[in-house]
Structure 1
Amino acid sequence: MIGDLVAFLLVYSCALASAGQTPFFLTRDPVLSPHVDAFISGILAEWNTPGGVSVAVVQKHGDGTWSVETKGYGNASADGRQMTEDSLFFIASNSKLFNIAATGLLISNESLSRRISWDTKIASIVPEWELKDPIASSQSTITDVMSHRTGLPRHDLMYGRTDNVTSILKRLRHLEPSAEFRDIYQYNNNMYMLLSYLPELLLPHKPSFARYVKEHIFEPLGLTSTTYSLDVAQASGNLVQGMARDGINKTENIFGRGTPRAMWHPNWFLSGGEDGNYKAGAGGVISSAKDAATWLQALLEDGRNPVTNESVIPPYVIEKVATGKTVQTGYAFVPILSHDVL
């Protein structure tokens, strides 16, 4: 559904341009217009979803000012609570960008007694690090583990709710690789758990990863509702529920209306509080469309707070993480989303 919506917005903008009109992203007219509202609501109705979506759109104008639009559509809970711009979502692996940005802050920290770079070998800074492939074990750098090119596949079933980062790291040496080092892209959450260990390893006061990101990214950027803590999110009253539909015949109509039912939260959010837990770096962020808009503005502004203009993440860190390192696939999954369209 989200992919359809993005594709619609891109096609719509191109259609306006081809018709001799100014594309909406070059005007100050609202993007979330009644027409787009009706489109999104229509998709929700067509799919008979008991849930909803929260959408953010940011536009920077030629004079340096911004237009920011955020809006919720549909329901945030099984009992019909309305979705809003403040509704809080588990953003899953979109959390990884915060992890990379935090690592970039450590790299740029000149006060560290043990300085690191993007090319620092993991074996030189993480005592528990060892892989079964001796070459990958000795040569893997921070960039390698960020880029999913260590040769290790996902192995997501190797950890459980009682684990922590160090117990997981000690287990990596027993896992079979499925490719040569730096040969292919293989998505791996374990490497982002590893990266989340760096603040504790490198900083003298040994902060948890979650508190480090809160202090150095969330708070300076004004991401006031973004958190790694399920308790904090629930206390806000804005946490959305994952929803299922009971009583539908999946062989006849998988999108039948059914009876809405709230689902359990992902298990990695069930412990850790504001200190987070082992899954924080790989997928622990809980955030809203309102904060997502601010985060997007900050990325487009080379890491600056869009309100105060304070530099929070150095521009070279933003440039580094926006530069491709490995090729996942050689073609566009959705050609309409290619940059050539615009």
Structure 2
Amino acid sequence: MAKLPSIALGFLSQPFTRLSQLLFLADSVWVNNGQVITSELSNSIQETLDIWNITGLSVAVVPRYGEPEFHSWGNMTEDEDKTTEGTLFHMASIYKAFCVSALGILMDDYEHGRNITPLPPALCEFNWHTLVQYILPGEWQLVDD
């Protein structure tokens, strides 16, 4: 049995209601009998792309155990070149959500003793009140400091 990661980020709309409820349960146990991106899921994703007029999408499923899966739908250019595993998408400001989520997971790991990477010597806690300059002493400062 594979254990899903504690957090899943992604675009899920109406056709994925049941799946999204499964994916967003923290530390759920989910049996992966092989392929995650099935033809049924692929068809549902294609329907969603058509409904919302989305030109292209790439999905990666990275289980804790087992091999990652990749699949792409749609076009990456106006000339209808198909998307591939290597297609780069403009993500606008979504990197901030990924960064904050990753920091939250890291803080939770420290709080529950799951992370073995030591904090800098002068730092005794790592939470939302910890300043970046304390985590990266001498390497990071605000431009106006």
With normalisation by structure 2, the TM-score equals 0.52
**Cα distance between partner residues in 2 of 1:75 and 1:126:** 40
**Cα distance between partner residues in 1 of 2:134 and 2:43:** 49
1:9 matched to 2:19? The reply is yes
Post-superposition offset of 1:95? 2.8
Post-superposition offset of 1:28? 3.1
1:45 matched to 2:66? The reply is no
1:35 corresponds to: 40
**Cα distance between partner residues in 2 of 1:82 and 1:127:** 42
User: Structure 1's 94 and 44: CA in aligned 2 closer, same or farther, altered over 3 A?
Assistant: closer
**Cα distance between partner residues in 2 of 1:94 and 1:50:** 17
Cα offsets for 1:58-77 (capped at 9, x unmatched): 1123xxxx221111011111
What pairs with 1:1-342 in structure 2 (closer than 5 Å)? Answer: 2-4=11-13, 7-11=17-21, 13=22, 25-47=30-52, 49=53, 51-61=55-65, 66-96=66-96, 97=99, 108=120, 116-118=133-135, 125-126=141-142, 128-129=144-145
**Cα distance between partner residues in 2 of 1:127 and 1:54:** 36
Relative to total residues, which structure has the larger helix share, 1 or 2? 1
Matched residue SS, 1:88:
coil
Matched residue SS, 1:92:
coil
CA contact (8 A) 1:58 1:69 kept: yes
Matched residue SS, 1:72:
strand
CA contact (8 A) 1:56 1:68 kept: yes
Post-superposition offset of 1:50? 5.9
User: Structure 1's 94 and 33: CA in aligned 2 closer, same or farther, altered over 3 A?
Assistant: same
With normalisation by structure 1, the TM-score equals 0.24
CA contact (8 A) 1:52 1:83 kept: yes
Matched residue SS, 1:73:
strand
Post-superposition offset of 1:91? 2.4
Matched residue SS, 1:86:
coil
**Cα distance between partner residues in 2 of 1:36 and 1:75:** 19
Post-superposition offset of 1:126? 4.0
CA contact (8 A) 2:58 2:83 kept: yes
**Cα distance between partner residues in 2 of 1:56 and 1:127:** 36
**Greater relative contact order (Cα < 8 A, sep 6+):** 1
User: Structure 1's 88 and 57: CA in aligned 2 closer, same or farther, altered over 3 A?
Assistant: same
Q: How many residues align?
A: 100
- How large is the RMSD of aligned CA atoms in angstroms? 3.9
Gaps of 5+ in 1: 15-22, 102-106, 109-115, 130-342
1:276 corresponds to: none
Post-superposition offset of 1:53? 0.8
**Cα distance between partner residues in 2 of 1:39 and 1:127:** 47
Cα offsets for 1:176-233 (capped at 9, x unmatched): xxxxxxxxxxxxxxxxxxxxxxxxxxxxxxxxxxxxxxxxxxxxxxxxxxxxxxxxxx
Structure 2: which amino acid aligns with 1:45?
Answer: D
Q: Which has the larger radius of gyration?
A: 1
Post-superposition offset of 1:54? 0.7
Structure 2: which amino acid aligns with 1:33?
Answer: T
Report percent identity of matched pairs: 22
Gaps of 5+ in 2: 1-9, 104-118, 121-132
User: Structure 1's 92 and 46: CA in aligned 2 closer, same or farther, altered over 3 A?
Assistant: closer
User: Structure 1's 50 and 127: CA in aligned 2 closer, same or farther, altered over 3 A?
Assistant: closer
CA contact (8 A) 1:24 1:31 kept: no
Structure 2: which amino acid aligns with 1:93?
Answer: S
